[in-house]
Amino acid sequence: MSENIIEIEHVSFKYKGSEEGLLKDTSLTVRKGETLLLTGASGSGKTTIIRLINGLIPHYYQGDVEGKVTVAGRDIAKTELYELAGVVGTVFQNPRSQFFSIDTDGEIVFGPENVGLDPRAILERKDLVVSEMHIEKLLGRSLFELSGGEKQSIACASVSALLPDIILLDEPSSNLDQGAIRKLAGQIRMWKSQGKTIVISEHRLWYLKDLVDRVIYMDSGKIAHEWSGKEFASFDPGQIEQLKLRPLEVPDILSPGCGGDCDCDGSCKVDLTAPDPAGGITLKKFYFSYHRNPYLIFKKNFDENDKNLSLCIPRLVLPKGAVIGVIGKNGTGKSTFLKCICGLEKDCKGIIETDGKEYKGKARLKLSYMVMQDVNHQLFTDSVESEVMLSMTEPDKERCEKILDSLGILEFKDKHPMALSGGQKQRVAIASAMAADAKLMLFDEPTSGLDFNHMEKVGHLLKTLAESGNTVLVATHDPELIELCCDYVLCIENGKLGYMKRV
């Protein structure tokens, strides 16, 4: 008979100065050893509950709290955060901003060092955690060199090293590709087998549906539904869609074993669709490498025969006016591909040919526009309106307002872009892209960390952009997005073209 290890009693919470993420009279109990999934739309209060359990509310985030939270017998309001370190561990969403050290070893021992454990005991714990997770080959490396999935593994190790009884995960799969997500699932399974209590806040459901004991659905600050894990896993796609959740089953996008809608016999290694060059956008001679021979002073012109190319695409024709999903494992060159096409990598001297014109070098920057993964890097002004006008060569207020209206953000035109929510900021970035009138639009992971509702909206937007005559390339890990809006899928393997096929 396992007792309740977490008790949230009639808690209401409102963040200071914000209406988002609040809770209204919520009560929740979690049994020891249970694996619980919190899901629901963005802003429904999932992260707030996580923060109540690990103590960040009220000790770190300010707001109006009512009610009581008890974790492992401690009243959270009266317990200092550092006292909870050995009890509750939290894995956060963004792998790159949650680590304190620069190297992997330092990060794993960070927690135990903070609580003043004896160095020998710390090293024992480190060895234990490393061997449990099989991450020996990640030791002794700089965290800045690791992939997103590897960083998240180190984050899990770092949390494990404090040997907490409760582990919280706040949208941990947001920046990961499918392979890394599977590893994460394995990690959660291991923690479960160790008897830890696990609470996960997530949008992506496919990797959790067989792991969780109970599912809580939040809506506008209240717990709207509660199901057992088995019940939830047996929902049909219609029910899931009604709840505005992401699908329970997603195809493995990297296996070209397709959905059967091509006439190959399961060996899709060939460039299946070869659009007519006249009606398409031709990419020629895109060669690039990040590895440079250190003892050669200049070797900026890459060609086909170079070894170790990060990107090697002699010729590729993209269909115009279509949404093309770019897929591939992390690290195989998707981002490099996008950056080279739009001209951001100066040393990649590829040529784009379309409508009879050739675009080289800087001209490629004018032809294309890339919306980056982290929207915060591309907002420069203090109002949405001036942000969009920044992209225009000739300031045209009317056109700006039309664009803002079509994206549903006209009401925010005088607001500071950084005051908006994630989804709204992204629409501002897209508005800037539309104002720049680029024929070729590139999107780098636009739906990481978005709930189903927003993902649908993004998919819809991409389709509209393509219908207006732009060619849209979207690099993504989300099979749901591909299903929602992509006309073609382009797979990059090790910097080379794997295949391209119609969806």
Partner 1 sequence: MTEVVTNNSNKLKAKDFITVGIFTAIIFVVEFACGMLGYIHPFIVASYVIMIPLVGAIPMMLFYTKVQKFGMITIMSVLIAIIMFVTGMGFLGAPLIIAAGVIADLIAKSGKYKSFKKTMFSYGVFCLWICANYFPVVITADAYRKSLTDGGYSAEYCNNLFLAINYKTIGILLVLCFVFGCLGAVIGKAVVKKHFEKAGIV
Partner 2 sequence: MKLDPRTKLFMILVVSAVVMMSATTPFLWAVRIVMTLIPIILLIIEKKYTSAFGFTFLYAAALVMTFCFINEASATFFKTFVTGYSGIVVQFMPCLITAWYVVRTTKIGEFMSAMQKMHLPDGITISLAVVMRFFPTIREEYSSISDAMKMRGISLGGGNAAKMIEYRMIPLLFSCVNIGDELSAAAITRGLGGNVRRTSVETLKLHVSDWLLITAFTAVAVIFVLFKYVL
Of the residues 163, 185, 344, 367, which one makes contact with partner 2 according to CB under 8 A: 344
* Cα–Cα distance list, 444 to 270, 273, 373, 471 (Å): 25, 23, 5, 14
Which partner from the list partner 2, partner 1, none does 92 bind, CB cut-off 5 to 8 Å by kind?
partner 2
Which of the residues 162 through 181 are near partner 2 (CB under 8 A)? Answer: 162
Per-residue buried b or exposed e for 73-85, using 16+ beta carbons within 10 Å of the residue's own CB: eeebeebeeeebb
Which partner from the list partner 2, partner 1, none does 116 bind, CB cut-off 5 to 8 Å by kind?
partner 2
Which residue number, 111 or 328, has a Cβ lying nearer to partner 2?
A: 111
Q: What one-letter code names the amino acid at 479?
A: P
Binding segment for partner 2 among 7-15, 156-164, 202-210, 223-231 (CB under 8 A)? Answer: 156-164
Location of structure tokens 């056109």? 399
Which residue number, 97 or 293, has a Cβ lying nearer to partner 2?
A: 97
CA distance 114 to 111: 5
Q: Tell me whether strands 440-444 and 23-31 are parallel, antiparallel or unpaired.
A: unpaired
The reply to whether 16 sits near partner 1 by the rule CB under 8 A is yes
Which of the residues 98 through 117 are near partner 2 (CB under 8 A)? Answer: 98-103, 105-106, 109-117
Which residue number, 19 or 263, has a Cβ lying nearer to partner 1?
A: 19
- C-beta of 21: minimal distance to partner 1 in Å? 8
Residue 138 in tokens = 């990640």
* Cα–Cα distance list, 16 to 19, 53, 65, 77 (Å): 8, 19, 10, 17
Q: Tell me whether strands 471-475 and 323-327 are parallel, antiparallel or unpaired.
A: parallel
- C-beta of 171: minimal distance to partner 2 in Å? 12
Binding segment for partner 2 among 77-85, 175-183, 252-260, 464-472 (CB under 8 A)? Answer: 77-85
- Of 217, 234, 235, the residue nearest 226 (C-alpha): 217
Residue 35 in tokens = 């694996």
Tell me, residue by residue from 353 to 382, as one string, x for binding to partner 2 by CB under 8 A and - for no binding: ------------xx--xx-x-x-xxxxx--
Location of structure tokens 């016999």? 265
Location of structure tokens 């190790």? 157
Rg from Cα positions in the chain: 24
The reply to whether 110 sits near partner 1 by the rule CB under 8 A is no
Which of the residues 282 through 311 are near partner 2 (CB under 8 A)? Answer: 294
The reply to whether 227 sits near partner 1 by the rule CB under 8 A is no
Which residue number, 124 or 304, has a Cβ lying nearer to partner 2?
A: 124
Location of structure tokens 């929207």? 375
Which partner from the list partner 2, partner 1, none does 50 bind, CB cut-off 5 to 8 Å by kind?
none
Which residues on neighbouring strands pair with residue 344, listed in sequence order? none
CB–CB of 441/448 below 8 Å? no
Which residue number, 21 or 280, has a Cβ lying nearer to partner 1?
A: 21
* Cα–Cα distance list, 487 to 320, 430, 472 (Å): 11, 20, 10
Residue 229 in tokens = 């894990």
The reply to whether 144 sits near partner 1 by the rule CB under 8 A is no
Which residue number, 351 or 390, has a Cβ lying nearer to partner 2?
A: 390
Q: Which residues bind partner 2 (CB under 8 A)?
A: 54-56, 60, 80-86, 88-90, 92, 94, 96-103, 105-106, 109-119, 122-123, 126, 144, 158-159, 162, 294, 339, 342, 344, 365-366, 369-370, 372, 374, 376-380, 390-391, 418, 432, 436
Residues that bind partner 1 (CB under 8 A): 15-18, 21, 58-63, 382, 416-419
